[in-house]
Amino acid sequence: MISEDVKAQMREICARYPSPRSGMLPCLHLAEATEGYITPEGIAAVAEATGAKLDEVDSVVSFYSMYHRQPQGKYVIKVCTSISCYLMGCDDVLAHLENRLGIRRGETTPDGQFTLQCVECLAACGMAPALQVNEDFVENVSLQVADTMLERLKRDEGVAGMNANWDVAGIGAGDTANNANSANTTSSEKKAR
Amino acid sequence: MAEQEELVNLTIDGQPVSVPKGSVIWAAAQKLGIEVPIYCYHPKMEPLGACRMCFVAVEKMPKLATACTTVVSEGMVVRTDTPAVKKARQGTLEFLLINHPLDCPICDKGGECDLQDFTLRHGPSASRFDLSKRHFQKPIPVSENILLDRERCIACQRCMRFCQTVAMEDGLVMEERGFRTEIGVNPDAPFDSNFSGNVVEMCPVGALTAKSYRFVTRPWELQKTGSVCGNCAVGCNVRVDVRVDKVLRQYSRTNDSIDDGWLCDRGRWDLDAINSLERLRTPLIRKGGKNSELQPASWDEALTLIATRLREITERDGGRAVGGIGSTHTTNEEAYLFQKLFRAGLGSNNVDHRHGRFPATERNGLPWVWSDSIAGLEKASHIVILGADPYHRQPIVDLRIRKAIRGGAQVYVVTPEPNRLDRLATGVIRYQAGQTGTIARALLNVVTAENLTRGDFAEKRSASLDARRTTVAQDTPERAAEIAGVDAAALRELAREIAGAKGAVILYDEMATLEPTGANLAADLLDLALLTDNFGRPGAGVGPLLEDNNSLGARDMGLLPDTLPGYRPVSDAAARAALGGVWNATLPSEPGKSYDEMLSGGVKALYVMGANPASDATPQQLAALNALELLVVQDMFLTETAKRATVVLPAVAYTEKDGTFTNTERCVQVVRRAMQPLPGAKADWEILRGVARALGLHWAYLSPAEILKEIGRATPIYAGVTRRALGDSGARWPLVPGERAADGRPALQSSPYLTWQMVEQGVARGIAAGELVAGRGRGE
Ligand code: SF4
Ligand code: SF4
Ligand code: FES
Ligand code: FES
């Protein structure tokens, strides 16, 4: 349900821009936050607030992987599968997460805790392979990092600090070294299997 | 009008070319006849630069440039033939072909497909991709008439951009992104646009196909003829595509001043009548008198019967006893011959057709013509749609209004019913059906009462202004609110907007004039435009949106009981004499009977050409039709009227004959025969010639072009109108002298708009018709 109050907020968002259509993305975020995912009602409300047509809003929703058409798990894990991450071993990360969670990409665990998704480039190519948990990035993801991440999420500790740790470890060594490390990790694991 | 355009000079592959400033490289290459392959670009839409097919090399640019987005500059040196360009084209095509199904043998687009053609000319000859291609369920319907094959789609986005930026309606959108991108439709916003067929025509591949055209032909089997759509009063330019004896589709022939390159779905696909198996193929007569059955007869029998009976009746009761109802569908030549048959052949002014109410006024009888043009809409600051529904009735006018909206025009939709333009309008005003006249008077009231009149006309014709002020003194918006349930404040505001507009165009539907309140609608709105100085320049004007493909031509040609061709009153002795001179006949001076009068027992013999009055007749009118001594019906079908006829004559469709139509904005255009006439049936002009000859008249016309030449002499507003003067894209009457041609003769050019002086002088007199006719020399 999109309440009158939320609709008013949407109108307020749109009023901030010279053209109300510019408010489409924040309004969609609001719709998703309100209902948990994007419903036809959410699309209609956003169309109304932005003055765009239903089919245009629909198209935008389909373009961005951060909007969802189905109810999502509490933690949505989006693994980048574009070229840099692919070269740095995202397939292994993805397979590992599928195994650990017992679901396939695109699915949600029965307890509603986790959704696993593949997305196009997250613009974190320098720290590939990269993934996103809800709003937060996890970069240079090795299988161990993935495990750590899952443990923290199960304890509801979030992943906000994880990259900071990496950054600390990376200081001095620089990004390149860092990347090389993680690449080594994944490829050696690959050999081990 | 040759506005001096600033030109930019550049060379492409060593050849110099000059194009208007702001052109893209693609257009310059096009001008030289150099092909730069494109997919996403479409000359009628904003460039996108998405498909990367159009790469060219530009000197001093580090990388290849897209010809569809790169604007030309002075001295630019472009090459389309370097190894780098060739490699880029090959690369793009190789990628596009990776997943393309290459089912060309059964693809409707095969033979006119840009992917086939560009691969042949610019592509790699082999693919390095040896994995399996992706597959989708196919085809899937995206609308009632169109199917999508996602495997064939190359994601150029033309179709989506047409829906979203040209039609500005719900329709096709891009879903997902990256390699998953596909064309889709939101189920809550279905693609039910009247303009949907354009996406099929513009899709560079066979991804979007028309249900009516699937698997019925190969394009090279089609015979293609440039003509004009006959489905409504807009007169879009089409290419009629015929296979053997069936019209399979109409494609756009792009006339920027009328259709801007688009067609509506009605024009594109609504061709059932032409292809129908129900069409009449032989004359029918009642051999055993009134109550016998209609039976097949020869043309000779039928024509002799008509002539004998018409002669009998006119000799007994005079020309006033016979009458004719003409057509808004037949060509000008045919409408002209029809009234000539009655006026010159039978001595009767009883000719009329079904039309709106446009009474003669002090403004010399021309309140009904659209004074401006379709293209002029783009220059308007305000467009007022009053009691009209262009989306359904004159679709391509609606599309031009949308273009005007994109250019900043403010549109006011003032209609009883919801309108497709409401969503895009600046103002929407509703009123009770039947009250269009009340609304017009209220607008005139505000303008005169609040002293908002302005401009040349208001100054020079202040007497007329005072008169109007008095006639509408009581008709305030507040009063309109009571009678018509309209929002008075909004109406008042609209009148002020019109009065203050840089240029307002006011359009109403022809049929709104038939409402009880509509008797003076045309004249009132003409005055509204004149008094607020919204007249006599592009982007300012007033006029009716007419119904049928030749509604205006029928009037122009004198299918009216009280006026001769060119709107000269039958009571005008000089006009009668002039026309009688051309026709070598004496013409009746008494005005004839109107459509309604003829249908309510006013005549004993009635000749109906291309009309079906019985379909919406009252019981009294039906009784009168049944009581006629002679009813001749000339039509493609056995209509309700034809079923009551004494003689039925089979006519052909507009795709089977030559001639001219005049569209709702005065543009006279050439219609060409695109297929063999249906065996047994004849063109209306041939039939009329046959009837005239059977009556003993010497009608020797060999072709419609010859009739048109006579129209030029008989109809002052058509002076100078010949097939040659009309060319491929037509001309708006009256033709006016342009610059002198090289041989010293005055060249003629069309009038894009009428001025109030032209209207007051009856248009024709303002153009010195005599000089044109004399100076025209050899004519056609
Ligand atoms: S359907 Fe045709 S026009 Fe539309 S994006 Fe695909 S190829 Fe282009
Ligand atoms: S707008 Fe009228 S003339 Fe143009 S294509 Fe449609 S029906 Fe034909
Ligand atoms: S390729 Fe994965 S973040 Fe860019
Ligand atoms: S035609 Fe130029 S990029 Fe598509």
Residue B414 pLDDT more than 60? Answer: yes
Provide, rounded to the nearest whole percent, the portion of chain B with pLDDT above 90.
87
Nearest ligand, CA of residue B53? 4
Query: What per-residue confidence (pLDDT) applies to A176?
Result: 41
For A4-63, the fitting CATH number among 3.40.50, 1.20.120, 1.10.10, 1.20.140 is 1.10.10
Residue range B124-136: average pLDDT?
Answer: 92
By Cβ distance, the residue of B173, B178, B185 closest to A56 is B173
- CA–CA distance from B236 to each of B267, B269, B474, B531 (Å)? 8, 14, 43, 32
Answer yes or no: is the C-beta of B153 below 6 A from any ligand 4 atom. no
Give B751 or B223, the one with higher predicted confidence: B223
Hey, whose CA ends up nearest to atom 3 of ligand 1? B203
The A residues from 110 to 129 touching B (CB cutoff 8 Å) are: 120
Segment holding B650, helix H or strand E: strand B647-650
Closest ligand 1 atom number to CA of residue B156: 8
Question: Is A55–B185 a contact, with Cβ atoms under 8 angstroms apart?
Answer: yes
The Cβ-side half-sphere exposure at B245, using a 13 Å CA radius, reads: 7
Query: What per-residue confidence (pLDDT) applies to B309?
Result: 97
Distance of CA B693 to the CA centre of its chain: 34
By Cβ distance, the residue of B163, B176, B186 closest to A63 is B176
B66-80, B286-300, B419-433, B593-607: the lowest-pLDDT one: B286-300
Query: What per-residue confidence (pLDDT) applies to B765?
Result: 52
Answer yes or no: is the C-beta of B25 below 6 A from any ligand 4 atom. no
Q: Is B501 left (phi over 0), alpha (psi -120 to 50) or beta?
A: beta
- Where does the pLDDT of residue B366 fall: very low under 50, low under 70, confident under 90, or very high at 90 and above? low
Provide, rounded to the nearest whole percent, the portion of chain B with pLDDT above 70.
95
For A75-192, the fitting CATH number among 3.40.50.720, 3.40.50.150, 3.30.479.30, 3.40.30.10 is 3.40.30.10
Query: What per-residue confidence (pLDDT) applies to B291?
Result: 84
Residue B287 pLDDT more than 90? Answer: no
- C-beta atoms surrounding B521 within 10 Å: 31
Question: Is B174–A63 a contact, with Cβ atoms under 8 angstroms apart?
Answer: yes
Pocket of ligand 1 (CB under 6 A): B 153-159, 183, 203-205, 207-208
Answer yes or no: is the C-beta of B249 below 6 A from any ligand 2 atom. no
For B513-577, what is the HEC assignment? HHCCCCCCHHHHHHHHHHHCCCCCECCEEEEEECCCCCHHHHHHCCCCCCEECCCEECCCHHHHH
Task: Report CA(B159)–ligand 1 centroid distance (Å).
Answer: 6
The A residues from 158 to 177 touching B (CB cutoff 8 Å) are: none
For chains A and B, CB pairs below 8 A equal: 43
Substitution site in A77, A79, A85, A137 for ligand 3 pocket (most atoms within 8 Å of beta carbon) = A85
pLDDT tens per residue, range B536-545 = 999 999 999 9
- C-beta atoms surrounding B54 within 10 Å: 29
Query: What per-residue confidence (pLDDT) applies to B741?
Result: 61
Residue B478 pLDDT more than 70? Answer: yes
Q: How many residues does chain B have?
A: 780
Q: Which residues of B415-450 are buried (b: 16+ CB within 10 A; e: fewer)?
A: bbeebbbeeebebbbbbeebbbbbbbbbbbbbbbbe
From chain A, the residues in CB contact with B189 under 8 A are 53-55, 58
Question: Is A120–B177 a contact, with Cβ atoms under 8 angstroms apart?
Answer: yes
- Where does the pLDDT of residue B709 fall: very low under 50, low under 70, confident under 90, or very high at 90 and above? very high
For residues B610 and B273, is the Cβ–Cβ distance under 8 A? no
From chain A, the residues in CB contact with B174 under 8 A are 59, 62-63
Residue range B723-736: average pLDDT?
Answer: 90
Answer yes or no: is the C-beta of B88 below 6 A from any ligand 4 atom. no
Domain boundaries, chain A: 4-63, 75-192
Closest ligand 3 atom number to CA of residue A129: 2
Instruction: Provide the strand spans (E) within B214-271.
Output: 223-228, 237-243, 246-252
For residues A136 and A122, is the Cβ–Cβ distance under 8 A? no
Query: What per-residue confidence (pLDDT) applies to B376?
Result: 96
Q: Determine the Cα angle at B162 with ends B157 and B164, to 5°.
A: 95
Query: What per-residue confidence (pLDDT) applies to B367?
Result: 62
- C-beta atoms surrounding B675 within 10 Å: 20
- Where does the pLDDT of residue B712 fall: very low under 50, low under 70, confident under 90, or very high at 90 and above? very high
Residue A188 pLDDT more than 60? Answer: no
* CA dist., res. A69 & res. A38, Å (int): 5
| A55 near B CB under 8 A | yes
A51: nearest CA in chain B?
A: B423
* CA dist., res. B678 & res. B636, Å (int): 10
What token pair was written down for B691? 């009837």
- Where does the pLDDT of residue A25 fall: very low under 50, low under 70, confident under 90, or very high at 90 and above? very high
A28-32, A164-168, B762-766: the lowest-pLDDT one: A164-168
Query: What per-residue confidence (pLDDT) applies to A163?
Result: 74
ipTM entry:
0.71
Site of tokens 């190894």? B83
Residue range B720-725: average pLDDT?
Answer: 90
For residues B633 and B608, is the Cβ–Cβ distance under 8 A? yes
What token pair was written down for A182? 């993680």
From chain B, the residues in CB contact with A63 under 8 A are 174-177
Peptide linkage before B561 cis (omega within 30 of 0): no
* CA dist., res. B404 & res. B672, Å (int): 31
Answer yes or no: is the C-beta of B197 below 6 A from any ligand 2 atom. no
Closest ligand 2 atom number to CA of residue B259: 4
Q: Is A156 left (phi over 0), alpha (psi -120 to 50) or beta?
A: left
B219-228, B461-470, B757-766: the lowest-pLDDT one: B757-766
Residue range B211-240: average pLDDT?
Answer: 97
| A16 near B CB under 8 A | no
Closest ligand 4 atom number to CA of residue B40: 4
By Cβ distance, the residue of A43, A54, A59 closest to B175 is A59
Question: Is A55–B178 a contact, with Cβ atoms under 8 angstroms apart?
Answer: no
Question: Is B171–A55 a contact, with Cβ atoms under 8 angstroms apart?
Answer: yes
Smallest Cα distance from B90 to chain A, Å: 23
pLDDT tens per residue, range B578-610 = 999 999 999 999 999 999 999 999 999 999 999
Give A160 or B262, the one with higher predicted confidence: B262
- C-beta atoms surrounding B126 within 10 Å: 7
pLDDT tens per residue, range B637-660 = 999 999 999 999 999 999 999 999
Which one of B161, B165, B166, B173 makes the best mutation probe of the A interface by having the most chain A beta carbons within 10 Å? B173
Query: What per-residue confidence (pLDDT) applies to A66?
Result: 82
- CA–CA distance from B207 to each of A35, B154, B219 (Å)? 36, 8, 16
pLDDT tens per residue, range B3-27 = 567 999 999 999 999 999 999 999 9
- C-beta atoms surrounding B389 within 10 Å: 20
Query: What per-residue confidence (pLDDT) applies to B303?
Result: 98
Question: Is B170–A59 a contact, with Cβ atoms under 8 angstroms apart?
Answer: no
Query: What per-residue confidence (pLDDT) applies to A65?
Result: 81
For chain A, give the mean pLDDT: 85
Task: Report CA(B231)–ligand 2 centroid distance (Å).
Answer: 6
Answer yes or no: is the C-beta of B114 below 6 A from any ligand 4 atom. no
Hey, whose CA ends up nearest to atom 5 of ligand 2? B267
The B residues from 165 to 194 touching A (CB cutoff 8 Å) are: 169-178, 184-186, 188-189
pLDDT tens per residue, range B512-526 = 999 999 999 999 999
By Cβ distance, the residue of B169, B173, B178 closest to A59 is B173
Residue B140 pLDDT more than 70? Answer: yes
Residue range B662-679: average pLDDT?
Answer: 96
For chain B, give the mean pLDDT: 93
Residue A145 pLDDT more than 50? Answer: yes
- Where does the pLDDT of residue A139 fall: very low under 50, low under 70, confident under 90, or very high at 90 and above? very high
Query: What per-residue confidence (pLDDT) applies to A174?
Result: 39
Residue B621 pLDDT more than 90? Answer: yes
Give A36 or B156, the one with higher predicted confidence: B156
Nearest ligand, CA of residue B550? 2
- Where does the pLDDT of residue B244 fall: very low under 50, low under 70, confident under 90, or very high at 90 and above? very high
Hey, whose CA ends up nearest to atom 2 of ligand 2? B232
Residue range A27-55: average pLDDT?
Answer: 95
Residue B651 is classified by DSSP as: B
- CA–CA distance from B167 to each of B157, B208, B391, B417, B421 (Å)? 14, 17, 11, 21, 11
- CA–CA distance from B212 to each of B62, B108, B270, B275 (Å)? 48, 11, 10, 13
Which residue ranges form the domains of chain B, and what is each CATH number?
A: 7-81 (3.10.20.740), 106-112+130-275 (3.30.70.20), 284-353+559-717 (3.40.50.740), 375-549 (3.40.228.10)
- Where does the pLDDT of residue A172 fall: very low under 50, low under 70, confident under 90, or very high at 90 and above? very low
pLDDT tens per residue, range B69-99 = 999 999 999 999 999 999 999 999 999 999 9
Closest ligand 4 atom number to CA of residue B49: 3
Residue range B241-246: average pLDDT?
Answer: 95
Query: What per-residue confidence (pLDDT) applies to A164?
Result: 53
Closest ligand 3 atom number to CA of residue A85: 2
Residue partners of A46: CB distance under 8 A and separation at least 6: A10, A24, A27, A28, A31, A52, A57
Return the amino acid letter for B448: T
